[in-house]
Structure 1
Amino acid sequence: MFETFKNRLEITGTLTTVTALRISKGRSTEPIGSDLPVIKDALGRPLIPGSSFKGALRSRLESFLRGILGSDRKMVANPAIEDEWSITSREMKIIKENFKDDKALTAEILKHTDLISHLFGSPWLASKFQVRDLTVQPDAWFGQYQERDGVAIDRDTETAADGKLYDFQVVPAGTPFDFKAVVENAEEWELGLLAIGLHQFETEQIPLGGGRSRGLGVVKLEIDKMHWVDIRDDKDPNNTDPSKLLGYMKNLVNNNLCCVVPDNYQKQWAESFINHYEVSMGFSNYKNIGEVLKKFQVTYTEANFVKETEFSITDYFREDLEFMMREAVVDNSEFAVCENLIYPVIKEVWKCYHSKFILWSHKSLTCYQYMSGFSEYILAKRSPLGKVVFDKPYLLLVEAKEDNFHEGWVQCLVEMITAQRINHELNVTILGIVTNGTTWQFGKLEGKTFAKQINRYMIQDLDQLFAAVNYVFQECESQLDTSVVA
């Protein structure tokens, strides 16, 4: 995955100890001196590792999100326990096996990555946020370490355990450290998440180091400057503006710092995070399809609206599918189901309609006023500007689920409503498919009415399944031909 430079935020300030600070480097083996000295730089001055600051910040943000989202690892991961990562090593292996294309692989990884890891990184995703080691300000340091006594308590006798007296070293209160952090290629919502976390340090809410139950480690961050450069295109934020990048490089050569962040930017970023949360996580707040219908005032009906339209399946396709289902493991995960069962069927029919449509894989739809969706596959109009342009109308959304069809339809219907809002001036019916690869269910959203197909289709009855999928594509084609598209 190759990165393109888009923006950079540089934050500088001072972190001051409000109470004594103890960041230990471990038990000393020296015959004299403190049993537990603090970590120091090469000159013997105290040092706060950037990883300690970053870890405490990450932990606090994770605790906030758990209070909102619960302990679902897909929403808020636990970096200390692999089974609680949003993508485990085993799941990552499956993803890499099923997504060979770099762009598709990246999209799939981002789709399954929890919010915090987008900014702070994970074993499968590089961090966008770096914190330099915090060094003490030289003019304020004269070697004034403090020594304190400690004792281990015997829990049975509730007295000092024999031979367990020790001393530990601390950095005194009022000691200032230089703070510098850099964020590159961050989305606005990620900067908002960071701003919320840094505010906790600004208000003395996040302690550092050990001995916090004794009152140690209270610190206060004072941000001095925030330098911001954004070279994204004003009209298309997904692309960069070469003239802005050249200007930035010229300023660097001339040792001219980039612009200082206006005060309203931090508020704007924080609001962007809240919007992103509400949009990207909105469907998870619905327990069932009834709540979605009530929220958007959509009427639910059931009918057999699919008019099966014959489709000629090649012998090669039949033989290849039969071989895969007989010899391969095709349904051990959503990734495997998409790669081995869903995409081959959808692609085979799409090839007959490719002149009018593009079949997009793992593409998001976002309408901030309403909701957001991230479908496995979206059928959209082929843009006159070229195949790389994601153009409306968006007519078909395909959602893959491992047997939980109720959850699948909750997500699919939200995505269908999102597509409907984006298409707004185009009076088109949105079609949806929810499948686990073996069983296929169909639905359509027409105005304020959602109809779910009563009959289900099975991949074992390939001719009937292809006839149903072909009908859906024909409906999309008919709408595209009759609608007035700008």
Structure 2
Amino acid sequence: MSYRQLNLADLKYNFNLTFIEDLGIFNNAPRLKPSQLLLDILEDNIGLAVAIGTEKARSELIIAPILVFLLKHFDNKISLFSGVEFNVNLCQGLTGVCDFILSLSPEQLFVQAPIITLIEAKNDNLKLGLPHCLGEMLGAQFFNQKVNNNIQTIYGVVTTGTSWQFLSLNNQTVKIDLEEYSLTNLPKILGILASFIPKTPDNLV
């Protein structure tokens, strides 16, 4: 079993999770203005990504540029990983490839704790990505705890590139924002993503 074989019901009972579902949970995050470079890249890429219609195209042409912008916004004092193996616990199904990982560590050669955000790319149906993303978040929680880096909250994102949905994991409580945020409101999406990064002396911007 791997992240992509998990479902929400099994995760809830196997990990004794409490689910809180509501609209607009992350809607109060301050907006973050995109750079002109990011706007230009997306203007060129969105139509192509949608026309190709695959997760890979959406990941490379829409999602990755947005996450690279976030990396630069924090002056490369966080790290970004794409398509990496993240095997934490085979018996519990916490194994497989993560589409994107954000870590508070600036180390870029390998994934290092604390992992703070996991991003799952989907071609169309966001709901199908929720259990995959949550499984990766649980994996990150265990990964961080192994090195006694018990960061309080881990965040998750499921996105088609043009639609974004956000969730969080705090201990055994999962909050799922039922609102789907459109890429047409890019400053809101960037603001929510930036709000997931705790401000530390090393990454203050």
Q: List runs of 5+ in structure 2 lacking aligned partners.
A: none
Query: Compared with structure 1, are the counterparts of its residues 378 and 299 closer, same or farther at alpha carbon in structure 2 (3 Å cutoff)?
Result: same
Note the C-alpha offset of 1:321.
1.5
In 2: Cα distance, 1:389 partner to 1:448 partner: 27
Which residue pairs with 2:120 in the alignment?
Answer: 399
Asked if residue 353 in structure 1 is aligned to residue 77 in structure 2, the reply is no
Shift of 1:282: 3.4
Question: Which residue pairs with 2:25 in the alignment?
Answer: 305
Report what 1:375 is aligned to.
98
DSSP-derived class of the 1:467 partner: helix
Consecutive aligned runs of 4 or more in structure 1 exceeding 3 Å deviation: 282-286
Q: Give TM-score scaled by structure 2 length.
A: 0.84
State how 1:25-40 maps to structure 2 within 5 Å: none
Query: 1:392 and 1:317 mapped to 2: Cα distance?
Result: 28
8 Å CA contact retained: 1:395, 1:431: yes
Query: What amino acid is the match of 1:456?
Result: E
Question: CA RMSD of the aligned region, Å?
Answer: 2.2
Decide which of 34, 37, 44 is 1:316's aligned counterpart.
Answer: 37
Matched, 1:296 2:20: no
Q: What CA distance in whole angstroms lies between the structure 1 residues aligned with 2:4 and 2:39?
A: 37
Kindly report which structure 2 residues correspond to 1:196-207, keeping only aligned pairs within 5 A, or say none.
none
Q: Tell me which amino acid in the other structure corresponds to 1:341.
A: I
Measured against aligned partners, the alpha-carbon deviations of 1:336-361 in whole angstroms (never above 9, x if no partner) come to: 00011111111112211144211111
Distance (whole Å) between structure 1 residues aligned to residue 183 and residue 168 of structure 2: 21
Task: Give the % identical residues.
Answer: 26
How far does residue 284 in structure 1 lie from its aligned partner after superposition?
Answer: 4.6
Q: Is the 8 A contact 1:362 1:377 kept in 2?
A: yes
Q: Tell me by how many angstroms 1:320 deviates.
A: 3.1
2:86 is paired with a residue of what secondary structure? Answer: strand
- Equivalenced residue count is 194
Report the secondary structure of 1:432's partner residue: strand
In 2, Cα distance between equivalents of 1:466 and 1:432: 14
- Indicate the residue corresponding to 1:409 in structure 2: 130
Is the alpha carbon distance of 1:354 and 1:282 closer, same or farther for their aligned partners in structure 2, counting shifts above 3 Å?
same
1:302-321 CA-to-partner distances (Å, cap 9, x unmatched) read 24332322212223322332
User: What is the alpha-carbon distance in structure 2 between the residues aligned to residue 358 and residue 284 of structure 1?
Assistant: 24
Structure 1: which amino acid aligns with 2:10?
E
1:226-282 CA distance string (max 9 Å, x none):
xxxxxxxxxxxxxxxxxxxxxxxxxxxxxxxxxxxxxxxxxxxxxxxxxxxxxxx23
Cα-to-partner distance string for 1:387-432 (whole Å, 9 max, x where unaligned): 3132111111000011232321111111110110111132321100
Per-residue CA deviation, residues 42-94 of structure 1 (Å, 9 max, x unaligned), is xxxxxxxxxxxxxxxxxxxxxxxxxxxxxxxxxxxxxxxxxxxxxxxxxxxxx
Query: Deviation at 1:323?
Result: 2.9
C-alpha contact 1:399 1:434 (8 A) present in aligned 2: yes
- Identify if the C-alpha distance between structure 1 residues 406 and 354 changes in structure 2 by more than 3 Å, giving closer, same or farther: same
Aligned positions of 1:155-234 closer than 5 A: none
Structure 1 match to 2:57: 336
Cα 1:293–1:354 change in 2 (3 A) is farther
Q: Tell me which of 62, 72, 83 is aligned to 1:362.
A: 83
Question: How does 1:74-93 map onto structure 2 within 5 Å?
Answer: none
Given the two structures, how large is their TM-score scaled by the length of structure 1? 0.37
- Report the Cα distance in structure 1 between the residues aligned to 2:110 and 2:39, rounded to whole angstroms: 33
1:305 aligned partner, one-letter code: I
| 2:175 counterpart residue number | 451
Query: Looking at CA atoms only, which structure, 1 or 2, has the larger radius of gyration?
Result: 1
Show the counterpart of 1:468. 192
Is 1:282 the counterpart of 2:25? The answer is no
The 8 Å contact of residues 2 and 96 in structure 2, kept in 1 or not, is answered as: no
C-alpha contact (below 8 Å) 1:433/1:442 kept by paired residues: yes
**Structure 2 counterpart of 1:387:** 108
Q: Distance in 2 between matches of 1:440 and 1:468?
A: 10
Residues 462 and 283 of structure 1: is their aligned pair in 2 closer, same or farther, counting only changes over 3 Å? closer
1:426 aligns with 2:149: yes
Contact 1:355 1:382 in 2 (8 A): no
Structure 1: distance between partners of 2:131 and 2:34:
32
Task: Give the match's secondary structure for 1:349.
Answer: helix
CA distance in 2, matches of 1:455, 1:367: 30
Equivalent AA in structure 1 for residue 37 of structure 2:
Y
User: In the superposition, relative to structure 1, how do residues 399 and 284 fare at CA in structure 2: closer, same or farther (>3 Å)?
Assistant: closer
1:438 deviates by: 0.9
Deviation at 1:329, TM superposition (A): 4.1
> Using a 3 Å threshold, how does the CA distance of structure 1 residues 323 and 282 change in structure 2: closer, same or farther?
closer
How far the C-alpha of 1:283 sits from its partner, in A, is 3.6
The 3-state SS of whatever aligns with 1:366 is coil
